[in-house]
Amino acid sequence: MQTTKMNTQSKKRGKYANRKPAAPDIAGQEARDAARVEIPEDAPIESQKTADEECPFIDQPTVHPETDVRLLDLNKIINSTYNPRKNFREETLLELAESIKQSGVLQPICVRPRDEGFEIVYGERRYWAAAMAGLKFIPALIRELSDAEAEDAAITENLQREDVRPREEAAAYKRALQSGRHTIESLVGKFGKSEAYIRSRLKLCELIDALAGMLDKEDISVGVATEIAKYPADIQQEVYDEHFAEGCYSSWKAVRIKDIARRLYERYMTKLESYNFDKTECLSCQHNTANQVLFKDECTGGCAGCQNRECMIRKNNEFLVQKAVKFLKDDPRTTLATNGETPAAVLEALEQEGYHVEELEYNAYYYDEGPQMPDVPQAENCVSEEDFAEAQERYEARMARFTEQTQQLEFDISEGRVRKYAIIGNLDIEIRYEEIEDEEREVTVNEGQDDERKVFVTVVPPSPLEGLMQQERRNREICYEHITTDMKRVFLDVKVANKPLQKEEQQMFYYAVMQRVMSDSKLRQCGFRPKEGSYLTDREQFAAAGRITAKQQAALVRAFLVDYFRSAAPEYGCTDETLLTGMMCRFADMNFTEQSQKVQQEYLKVYERRKARLQEQIDALQAKAEAEELAVSMQEAPDFDPEELPDLLPDETPDAEPKPEPLIIPMEPDIDPDTRMPEEMKTAA
What is d(CA 1, CA 22) in angstroms, rounded to the nearest whole number?
Answer: 12
Which candidate, 628, 404, 571, 599, places its Cα nearest to that of 494? 599
β-pair type (418-424, 335-338): parallel
Question: b/e map of 606-629 (b: 16 or more CB within 10 Å)?
Answer: bbebbbebbeebbeebeeeeeeee
Question: b/e map of 645-665 (b: 16 or more CB within 10 Å)?
Answer: eeeeeeeeeeeeeeeeeeeee
- Alpha-helical runs (H) found in 269-384: 309-330, 344-352
What is d(CA 170, CA 203) in angstroms, rounded to the nearest whole number?
Answer: 8
Q: What is the DSSP string of 208-261?
A: -HHHHHHHHTTSS-HHHHHHHHTS-HHHHHHHHHHHTSTT-SS--TTS-HHHHH
What is d(CA 509, CA 413) in angstroms, rounded to the nearest whole number?
Answer: 51
In one-letter notation, the amino acid at residue 251 is: S
What is d(CA 21, CA 137) in angstroms, rounded to the nearest whole number?
Answer: 10
Question: How does DSSP classify residue 116?
Answer: T
Largest CA distance in the chain: 193
Cα-Cα-Cα-Cα dihedral of 509, 514, 519, 521, to 10°?
10
Q: Measured in whole angstroms, how far is the alpha carbon of residue 264 from the centre of its chain?
A: 23
Spatial neighbors of 61 by CB under 8 A, at least 6 apart, are 143, 145, 149, 152, 153
Spatial neighbors of 248 by CB under 8 A, at least 6 apart, are 241, 242
- Active-site annotation holder among 119, 124, 151, 168: 124
Can 577 be counted among the known catalytic residues? no
* Contact of 85 with 125, CB cutoff 8 Å: yes
Which candidate, 341, 346, 383, 343, places its Cα nearest to that of 365? 341
The dihedral through the CA atoms of 623, 625, 630, 635 has a sign that is positive
What is d(CA 338, CA 360) in angstroms, rounded to the nearest whole number?
Answer: 6
For the packed helices 257-268 and 222-229, what is the interaxial angle rounded to 10 degrees? Answer: 10
Q: Measured in whole angstroms, how far is the alpha carbon of residue 424 from the centre of its chain?
A: 16
For the packed helices 309-330 and 344-352, what is the interaxial angle rounded to 10 degrees? Answer: 50
* Contact of 138 with 127, CB cutoff 8 Å: yes
For the packed helices 195-203 and 166-178, what is the interaxial angle rounded to 10 degrees? Answer: 100
Q: Other C-beta atoms within 10 Å of 601: how many? A: 11
In one-letter notation, the amino acid at residue 84 is: P
Helix or strand holding residue 422 (H, E):
strand 418-424
In three-state form (DSSP H/G/I as H, E/B as E, the rest C), the secondary structure along 160-175 is: CCCCCCHHHHHHHHHH
Spatial neighbors of 94 by CB under 8 A, at least 6 apart, are 132
Q: Is 552 left (phi over 0), alpha (psi -120 to 50) or beta?
A: alpha
What is d(CA 122, CA 133) in angstroms, rounded to the nearest whole number?
Answer: 19
* Residues labelled catalytic: 124
